Amino acid sequence: MRPLIAPSVLAANFANLQAEIEMINSSEADWIHFDVMDGVFVPNISFGFPILEAVHQYAKKLLDVHLMIQEPGRYIETFKKSGADSITVHYEACTHLHRTIQQIKDTGCKAGVALNPHTPIHFLEDIINEVDLVLLMSVNPGFGGQKFIPHTYRKVEALKRLINERQAQVLIEIDGGVNQSNAAALLERGADVLVAGNFVFSSTDPIQTIAELKQITF
């Protein structure tokens, strides 16, 4: 099975965002990955509701919203209204994770939980059957263009084992430093969705780069 490819607009040209979204629309990408950072949970600030609404106006792909923010439950309904199709929150940012996941589902969005590189897979044992996807950060969250952390491979394997043991219907999404040199190994270990930012948007031919990622098998 081919992977789902989710170009991250964090690496796009913000001065020409409409054209970048239309490029993704015309490519073989499956999702558009939208990173929200608050400058508190992570040391950077990115997009808010008005930008998501603008992206939604032109997007023809699923909008995969990744909330790297404190107290995400306060904003779930607004992100849905702004265009989100899938909303992922961080385990580390949610005091009441089950409640927040249910809140996302109540809006009609797919619900995801993200883990930072240092957070072990076994923390998901009590929530794995409640979510639609798990996003594993393969870099420290907050900035694009970072180097892939190799122990992500072991985490993908551990997560896949947990999913199989619990017979859960969960996609594994990888975010951070994904490129052609590590994509096949991630897929072999069980990844389903590859988020690619700089690798796509720094390419001289982003559409071809997306197509090449889409064609990777193991």
- Cα–Cα–Cα angle for 125, 169, 185, nearest 5°? 85
**Rounded to whole angstroms, how far apart are CA atoms 42 and 37?**
6
DSSP code string of the chain: -PPEEEEBGGGS-GGGHHHHHHHHHHSS--EEEEEEEBSSSSS-B---HHHHHHHHHH--SEEEEEEESSSGGGTHHHHHHHT-SEEEEEGGG-TTHHHHHHHHHHTT-EEEEEE-TTS-GGGGTTTGGG-SEEEEESS-TT-SSPPP-TTHHHHHHHHHHHHHHHT---EEEEESS--TTTHHHHHHHT--EEEESHHHHTSSSHHHHHHHHHT---
Catalytic residues: 35, 175
**Rounded to whole angstroms, how far apart are CA atoms 21 and 57?**
10
